[in-house]
Structures are given as C-alpha cells and as structure tokens.
C-alpha cells in the first residue's frame, strides 16, 4: 500500500513550468542561490494595475463626493454647514428678521434668486420698466395682495433699485408704482406667517402675503439704504394698522394657535 496510491491521491496535473517558476521562484543559473519569484506576465500585471487604478479612483470619488453626502445625512450640523457654504444666506446685518421673528423651517437658509419670473424674457415687463427708466430688477415674483374690500388677488411684485411695481398678471396692467423713497416702514408679525405690509404715508399702504417674505423685506431694506440717506424701518408686532385706501384704515391681528397662525383683518 505504501508504494501504490489510489487514483484520487494522484497529484494534480502540474502547472506549466514557467507559471510555476513565476509563482515559487527558481535557482540562479550557477545553482548557488534561490531567486525571488518572477513577476507575473505583463498582460496580467496590466490588468492588475488597471484594477488598482480603478479602486483608487473610486476611493477618491468617495472621499470627494460620497463621504460628504454621508456626513450631510448623518449629522444635522454638517448639513447646516454645507447648506450655508452653498447658499450663503444673509448675515444678521443684512436680514432684519434674526432674533425677532419666528421662522418657518422652509425659509431658513433659503437661496435668494431675486428674479423668479425671468423678467428679461417677458416683453411686457421689460417695456414697462424701460418706460419708467428702471433697468435693474432686484426681485420679481407672484404674491397675494389684499384689496380694500378684503379679497385676495394674485399680483406680480417687481422691486427695482428705485421703485415697487404691482402688476396684474392676467391683464398685464400696471396697478401701482411706489417710489422706494415714499415707503416709510414695513410691518410684520412676530410669528411664522407670510404677511407683510408696506406703509406709504403720502399715499396708502398695501398688505401682501408671500412665501418669500424674508427675501422681499431684505431686498427693500438694502435697496432703500443704497439709494437714500435713511434706513427703512421694519416693525415687528402681532397687531398693526395700515391704510387700505387713503380713507380706510384696517387693523391686522395675529394669534398663534394649534397648528399655525390665525390672522384677522378688520376695519378700524
């Protein structure tokens, strides 16, 4: 039994000599020492290098992109810092709401685009601005305006470096133009609502609502500061008055209730 081995015990077919030498090494030609294993064939090494390069590139991609995403999802602080870095929201000097008014989560660190209506592509709005001599649009968006009768109407609000424009989007009619110099103050509540009132003592004010109220107020404050020698006053109160017409005064009252803010508009 010692001399014979079963068929299952027979050594497997020996691998080619060159492959075997490449794997286990060989003696030098003088027979005096053992040489290190030869490198694998060049084709195989090329494949291996490619795989290695691919792995390194993948790791770089992960460190450059994916890891940042993971950090943003895992940590609220990282997400907040990333958002600030991308959007660069107004500082406390620029934004009149900080530390005074309750803010909705959706309005925090929101990117300010200014023109949400693409005014340069609207022939009517361009003609209107050129006719008035205004060319720099600081803000453009649709808002809700409250009429003297208490109805809500959709309007286009345009803010330039000199004036405020209120336009009817259905008829393309200019409803009103208010010079920035005529605006005395802005009134807002201390709660997380969308209302703001523009107070114009020489004429009459207007009450509006917009999800971009923060940006509107910021733009008006900065525009007034840059074109005049006074700073526009922003008043925060849960009860304020405004002139709906030259002879009609209305009071706006805000109350925080479960699930939101209740707003009441009554005649004085």
Q: Could you read off the pLDDT of 202-231 as tens digits, one per residue?
A: 999 999 999 999 999 999 999 999 888 888
Residue 174 maps to a domain: yes
Query: For position 211, which CATH number holds?
Result: 2.30.29.30
Q: Report the alpha-carbon distance of residue 217 to residue 238 in Å, rounded.
A: 17
pLDDT of residue 119: 96
Instruction: Provide the domain count of the chain.
Output: 2
Edge-to-edge strand ranges of the sheet holding 163-168: 173-179, 163-168, 152-160, 137-146, 206-209, 195-199, 185-188, 233-236
Let me know whether 170 and 43 are in one domain: no
Domain extent for 65: 16-27+35-88
pLDDT of residue 130: 93
Let me know whether 76 and 158 are in one domain: no
Residue 95 maps to a domain: no
Token pair for residue 123? Answer: 């022939």
Strand (E) or helix (H) holding 250: strand 249-257
Let me know whether 245 and 149 are in one domain: yes
Let me know whether 127 and 226 are in one domain: yes
Let me know whether 258 and 177 are in one domain: yes
Let me know whether 66 and 121 are in one domain: no
Residue 69 maps to a domain: yes
Token pair for residue 11? Answer: 């050594």
Residue with tokens 């336009």: 167
Q: 219: how many CB neighbours lie within 10 A of its CB?
A: 17
Let me know whether 185 and 128 are in one domain: yes
Residue 5 maps to a domain: no
Let me know whether 216 and 116 are in one domain: yes
pLDDT of residue 145: 98
Let me know whether 75 and 137 are in one domain: no
Low-confidence ranges of the chain (pLDDT < 70): 1-110
Let me know whether 256 and 126 are in one domain: yes
Residue 226 maps to a domain: yes
pLDDT of residue 33: 52
Residue 70 maps to a domain: yes
pLDDT of residue 229: 80
pLDDT of residue 205: 97
User: Which among 200, 210, 209 has a CA at the least distance from the CA of 232?
Assistant: 200
Token pair for residue 144? Answer: 């809700």
Strand (E) or helix (H) holding 249: strand 249-257
pLDDT of residue 230: 84
Half-sphere exposure (CA, 13 Å, Cβ side) for 254?
Answer: 21
Let me know whether 115 and 244 are in one domain: yes
Greatest alpha-carbon span in the chain: 123
Residue 99 maps to a domain: no
Let me know whether 78 and 112 are in one domain: no
> 129-151 as b/e, with b when 16 or more CB fall inside 10 Å?
beeeebeebbbbbebbbbeeeee
Residue 169 maps to a domain: yes
């Amino acid at each position: 039994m010692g001399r014979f081995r079963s068929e299952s015990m027979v050594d497997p077919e020996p691998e080619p000599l060159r492959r075997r030498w490449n794997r286990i090494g060989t003696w030098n030609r003088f027979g005096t020492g053992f040489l290190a294993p030869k490198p694998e064939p060049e084709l195989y090494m090329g494949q291996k290098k490619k795989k290695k390069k691919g792995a390194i590139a993948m790791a770089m991609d992960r460190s450059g992109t994916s890891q940042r995403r993971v950090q943003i999802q895992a940590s609220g602080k990282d997400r907040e810092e990333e958002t600030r870095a991308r959007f660069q929201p107004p500082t406390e000097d620029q934004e009149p709401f900080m530390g005074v008014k309750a803010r909705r989560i959706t309005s925090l660190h929101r990117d300010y685009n200014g023109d949400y209506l693409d005014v340069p592509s609207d022939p009517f709005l361009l003609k209107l601005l050129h006719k008035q001599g205004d060319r720099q649009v600081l803000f453009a968006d649709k808002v809700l305006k409250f009429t003297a009768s208490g109805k809500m109407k959709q309007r286009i609000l345009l803010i330039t470096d000199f004036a405020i424009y209120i336009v009817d989007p259905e008829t393309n009619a200019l409803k009103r133009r208010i010079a920035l110099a005529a605006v005395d103050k802005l009134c807002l509540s201390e709660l997380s609502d969308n209302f703001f009132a523009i107070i114009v003592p020489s004429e009459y004010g207007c009450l509006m609502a917009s999800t971009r109220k923060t940006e509107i107020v910021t733009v008006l404050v900065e525009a007034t500061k840059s074109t005049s020698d006074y700073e526009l006053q922003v008043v925060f109160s849960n009860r304020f008055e405004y002139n709906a017409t030259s002879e009609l005064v209305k009071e706006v009252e805000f109350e925080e209730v479960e699930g939101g803010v209740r707003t009441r508009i009554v005649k004085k």
